[in-house]
Chain A
Amino acid sequence: MLNIHSTEQLLKAIALASAALSVLIGIWYIIRRPHLNRGTKSMLLLGLGAFPLIVSLTGNIASFEYTLSRPFCGSCHVMGPYLRDAEDPKSNSLAAMHSRNHKFGENSCYTCHADYQMFGAITTKQNGMKHLFKYLTEYASTGPDGEGGPPIHLYKPFKSGACMQCHSATAKKWVETHADSAEAIRSGEMNCIDCHNEIHPLALSRRPKTAMGVVR
């Protein structure tokens, strides 16, 4: 029995059902080869036009939703150590702690690494295409975790704005504990991860070159 628990799953179910109907109409036409009368044309318009359109719309949305999830980010082998660390219930790294937070849930990679701006989703997905290209051209056959490949690094420095989506820089407790550096953090001179730097320790231990300072 099909269990649907989220919008993404519902969209996937609609897309698969529409694809199946479209294929069935196609197979019916190939086997029966009916005369091209008005009924056949209408049926084919459903099979070649309407159902594929539904597959395209729902499939695109469902796929986009899936690309936000941690399993998708970890589906390239170079991300293996990052994924294992984030999903380790005993790990105390920042990635693991945030992944255990239900507000981040399955989308913990995207929530912290997506560009926090008006067209952030688009620029993030553009970078995703760049990731895929680099993965295919530079990290193929580089070991089970891609440790033989070039060091992995962010395209631009990690900004504190991503942290401040949730951690307010004006809350009383935060101001008290960050009295010395509050202004520098707000102005961008200092970053949260300058001090809170235990982000992906397991991943960095698998890549000594990256751990020496390229990452951030």
Chain B
Amino acid sequence: MKHEMAKKMVLFSVIGTIVAMIFMASSIVFPHPLLLVLAMSIGQGIAIFALVLYLLAVALDLQSSGEMYIPVEESPAVEPPASAEGIGPPPA
């Protein structure tokens, strides 16, 4: 489930980056003031958002495949009741 979600996020990230790159490259080739301002603000915004999305997807994918170390809280040890001490079969 998480792996599928990560793949979708990567796909959106790739599409976002392609849009941002075309936007920014067009402003370099056709440097009209409005295009420059839009490309260097919105274009860069899209590219940053796409990168963050990709990094999140990688983290999610690592988590789902177990490659990422996630500390698991230890369950508290259950102590035998005092009254039961000495009762039962001897240790092997």
Contacts and interface: CB of A to CB of B under 8 A. Distances in A.
Interface of A: 12, 15-16, 19-20, 22-23, 26-27, 29-30, 36, 41, 44-45, 47-49, 51-52, 55-56, 59-60, 62-63, 66-67, 72, 75-76, 128-129, 132, 135-136
A52 B50 CA distance: 10
B22 interface: yes
Contacts of B7: 36
Given A132-B33, A136-B34, A49 B24 contact: no
A44 B54 contact: yes
A26 B14 contact: yes
Given A19-B21, A36-B61, A67-B36, A44 B47 contact: no
Contact of B6 (A27, A36, A47): A36
B37 interface: yes
Interface residues of B, number: 33
4 smallest CB-CB distances across A and B, nearest first, come from: A19-B25, A19-B21, A26-B18, A26-B14
Main DSSP-derived SS at the A contact region: helix
Contact of A63 (B10, B17, B40, B61): B40
Interface in B12-56: 13-15, 17-18, 20-22, 24-25, 27-29, 31-34, 36-37, 39-40, 44, 47, 50-51, 54
Contacts of B31: 63, 66, 72, 75
